[in-house]
């Protein structure tokens, strides 16, 4: 039996090379081996108020982007969370299985509620993890590929599923988190001590966007901050800039880090950066061409409706099973 892999993505425009190499590519590479689901977490997006038109646009944009990056609707069930109504009910049930303290100690909640300060923090932000728990459990998920910041939420899912199974009998599959070993932290090209983020403090000179103009992307790679040691060597502590460029190249081409180091023995940074820039531009070019092909409301609508139909089938079964054991039906 194939393992079930599922991940959810918050709709956001302007995905970066860091998003692609750190998360999207891992999913794309694994989608053949698994029974795979990917959904746009639009219910998670309304934890804080959003402009409705903008939300709609970013959901559409995000789906087109994931397809452009290689998520294949023939191998993966692609859907919108709000199209499968079972998510809301399952999230509600899981909220009622959770202790206040369990949510109160979630790192992401603690950070975000501190930022909210006096204005007060939305309840949505507090119960957000239990909605995510429901998302994962609905599909009997075995593997959840996510970034490190979401690991705690997947661990909460395991804890709650285990508790529920003990209380009511075996109902849910316990999921494992998957964090990719290479490329899980692509760094800012100008400040390789910071992650490559959408909101970059230095005029975005350190961030490459997937929809970026190729010349501009090339310039950013060629002027990436390095060091004066002049060795292409993976040493995150003493050569963070060069190590970051090696990670980028290794992750794009699937070449081993040592093999890259070997090829560049005795060679300078200029030549090395040029290869990184070539490979990044090739990748962006492919993604951008695909994006323009997929970014058509009719095509996207068809894919997402079909995905929702397939997802609903499984989600309904799991929800009914849990309602039965709870005595609700």
**Which listed range, 72-80, 142-150, 164-172, 232-240, lies at the site for ligand TRP (CB under 6 A)?**
142-150
Beta carbon nearer to ligand TRP, 86 or 135: 135
Give phi and psi for 143, each to the nearest 5: -130, 130
**H helix runs in 8-85, sequence order:** 17-19, 25-30, 42-45, 52-68
Q: Which of residues 28-87 bind ligand TRP (CB under 6 A)?
A: 41, 44
11, 55 contact by CB (below 8 A): yes
When asked if residue 311 is in the footprint of ligand TRP (CB under 6 A), the reply is: no
Least distance (Å) between residue 144 CB and ligand TRP: 5
When asked if residue 24 is in the footprint of ligand TRP (CB under 6 A), the reply is: no
Q: Which of residues 147-166 bind ligand TRP (CB under 6 A)?
A: 150
- Number of residues near ligand TRP (by CB under 6 A): 12
Cα first-last separation, the chain: 30
DSSP code, position 188: P
Among residues 7, 26, 76, 226, the one that binds ligand TRP under rule CB under 6 A: 7
- Using alpha carbons only, give the angle 190, 200, 237 rounded to the nearest 5 degrees: 40
Beta carbon nearer to ligand TRP, 226 or 318: 318
Whether residue 185 lies in the annotated active site? no
**Could you tell me the two tokens for 31?**
């989608």
Beta carbon nearer to ligand TRP, 18 or 192: 18
CA 281: distance to chain centroid? 22
On the CB side of 158, CA atoms within 13 Å amount to 12
Give catalytic residue positions. 112, 195, 198
Binding site for ligand TRP (CB under 6 A): 6-8, 10, 41, 44, 132, 135-136, 144, 146, 150
């Amino acid at each position: 039996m194939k393992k079930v892999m599922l991940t959810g993505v918050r709709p956001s425009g302007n995905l970066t090379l860091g998003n692609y190499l750190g998360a999207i590519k891992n999913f794309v590479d694994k989608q053949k081996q698994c029974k795979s689901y990917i959904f746009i977490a639009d219910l998670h997006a309304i934890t804080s108020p959003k402009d409705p038109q903008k939300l709609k646009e970013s959901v559409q944009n995000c789906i087109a982007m994931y397809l452009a990056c290689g998520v294949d609707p023939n191998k993966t069930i692609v859907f919108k969370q709000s199209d499968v109504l079972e998510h809301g009910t399952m999230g509600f049930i899981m909220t009622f299985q959770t202790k206040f303290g369990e949510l109160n100690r979630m790192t992401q909640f603690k950070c975000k509620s501190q930022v909210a300060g006096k204005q007060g923090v939305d309840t949505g932000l507090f119960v957000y993890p239990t909605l995510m728990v429901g998302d994962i459990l609905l599909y009997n998920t075995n593997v959840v590929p996510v970034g490190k910041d979401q690991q705690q939420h997947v661990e909460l899912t395991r804890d709650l599923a285990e508790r529920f199974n003990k209380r009511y009998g075996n109902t849910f599959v316990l999921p494992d988190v998957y964090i990719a070993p290479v490329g899980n932290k692509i760094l800012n090209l100008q400040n390789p001590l910071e992650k490559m983020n959408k909101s970059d403090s230095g005029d975005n000179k350190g961030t490459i966007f997937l929809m970026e103009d190729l010349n501009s992307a090339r310039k950013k790679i060629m002027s990436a901050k390095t060091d004066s040691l002049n060795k292409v060597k993976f040493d995150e502590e003493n050569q963070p800039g060069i190590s970051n460029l090696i990670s980028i190249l290794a992750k794009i081409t699937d070449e081993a880090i040592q093999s890259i180091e070997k090829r560049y023995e005795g060679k300078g940074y200029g030549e090395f950066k040029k290869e990184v820039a070539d490979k990044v531009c090739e990748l962006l070019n492919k993604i951008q061409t695909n994006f323009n092909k997929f970014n058509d409301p009719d095509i996207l609508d068809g894919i997402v409706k079909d995905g929702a139909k397939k997802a609903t089938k499984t989600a309904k079964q799991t929800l009914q099973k849990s309602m039965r054991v709870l005595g609700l039906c």
